[in-house]
Amino acid sequence: MEEWIKKNKGIVIVVSIKFLCVIIAAAAYVCFGHTLIRAMYEEHAVGFLNNLIEHDGAHQLAYYYAKADHIFKLGVITFIVIGLLVISTYKLVLAHAKTMFKLLVINLSITVVFFECLTGLLFAVPALSNNLLHDFMCSLYRNGNIAMPQYEDQMAIYDNELLYTLKPNTEFVFSNPEFKTAYTTNSLGLRDDEASLHKPEIICLGDSYTMGWGVEQDETFAQRLEQMSNKKVLNAGISSYGTVREMKLLNRLDTSNLEYLIIQYDGNDYNENNTFYQMKNVLNIMSLNNYNSVKDEYSERLRYYPGKYFIFALTSIFASITNMSGEKPDHSFGVPNTAKKADESKVFINAIMHATDVDPSNIKIIMTGRKNFLDAAQSTIASGDYPLYIQNIVFVPFPDAKTQRDHYFTIDGHLNARGHNGLAYKLSNTLN
């Protein structure tokens, strides 16, 4: 084989370079080709809509996105065909199959190592992720590289009413590529001190945003609000809780001196809220055995193995061809997320009204979250027949993710310390 390679050095080099170029170009296309195509189609759609042609904006953008998805699929197929042509063009593939197979393996190995090193570098230095790489890195992070405290033995425990809480009276360090933070929990498994459990004037309910994912304990918007308002504030946020479990948690808290209830909402609350609504205001929590199985799956998914990032890129190609907008079923609360869909703001309001035994009629409720959902909830309340305490909800939006990107982590997407401080300032002004 060595003698053949020496005699045909030029051919080997040409084949190797062409093969590497195709592989690298295909990987680059998978990483940010879809983003570029969608951006171009979106720009066209927005320009079209700005001409005041009478079409529904959301429907029109969906139409352009569908066209972009089809173009992306065609591009993937094109790269596959080009790759086959590069290989089949040379007779030496047939004449020296073993030799060429070894060369292809070597080239592929180089590509995988390069891809893994590049991706590892981008995780280590997230600021290097420009707009083109950002979506791919975010997707990779969320689908196999994100640590979650609710599935770590030293950080959380099973709860047959709430599925889990943070481990009570403990200290631990929680980290992901963009942060490493210390946690101290009180006797109820909340990220706050013990004193805050007694007669708080403000309680903050929510998920990872409220808990303070990615920031130190004294940097959460709950703690910053306490400093700004001079009122006792309890941080009752727990990662991945939906509105239903947040309101059920309220049953365990001291509300005897409660003046304000701040409820933070995120889009992933919907499945839990919708399930509760569809099940006639009942939330079925998975068993301890099932919870432990989920933890095992999580640990396996988090484990790194050689070629993990490259394999993810390949599976992304397959997913984009078979089902661009596929959705994984979630059976955590008794029914899959493919169940009948109800209005998002409607099931959110239903959770506030029916998921707790605490009478909220004398409590001022403040809602915070993404502005688009707050606007929808406000519209739903205005057009419905709701109790006075629902009608009087005050809405305080998160920092704008487009114009205030420095308020969020680059890849992770949660509020950073600046974002928490900005939100606390807005909440403090609302109290005043």
* pLDDT tens sequence across 190-226: 999 999 999 999 999 999 999 999 999 999 999 999 9
Planar angle of CA 163, 247, 428, nearest 5 degrees:
125
Dist. CA 166–CA 310, nearest whole Å: 34
Cα angle value 397/399/405 (rounded, 5°)? 155
Q: Which residue has the higher pLDDT, 45 or 182?
A: 182
Domain ranges of the chain: 2-124, 149-286+331-431
Confidence grade of residue 273 (pLDDT, cut at 50, 70, 90)? very high
Measured between alpha carbons, how far is 20 from 108 in angstroms, rounded to an integer?
8
**Cα 346 versus chain centre, distance:** 23
Residue 4 clears pLDDT 60, i.e. is over it: no
Structure tokens at 132: 């083109």
Query: How many Cβ atoms sit within 10 Å of the Cβ of residue 254?
Result: 14
Q: pLDDT tier at 289 (50, 70, 90 boundaries)? A: very high
The per-residue pLDDT of the chain, averaged, comes to 80
Angle (CA) 406 412 414, round 5°: 60
- At a CB cut-off of 8 Å and minimum separation 6, what does 8 contact? 92
Q: What is the pLDDT of residue 14?
A: 64
| DSSP code at position 189 | S
Tokens describing residue 180: 């490493």
pLDDT of residue 44: 45
User: CB atoms < 10 A from the CB of 241, how many?
Assistant: 29
The correct CATH number of 149-286+331-431 out of 3.40.50.300, 3.40.50.1110, 3.30.420.80, 3.20.20.100 is 3.40.50.1110
Residue carrying structure tokens 């919870």: 291
Q: Is 202 helix (H, G, I), strand (E, B) or coil?
A: strand
Placement of tokens 């506030």 in the chain: 352
Average pLDDT over residues 407-414: 92
For residue 347, count other CB atoms closer than 10 A to its CB: 23
Question: pLDDT, tens digit, for every residue of 52-94?
Answer: 333 334 444 555 556 556 556 656 666 666 666 665 555 455 4
pLDDT over threshold 50, residue 179: yes
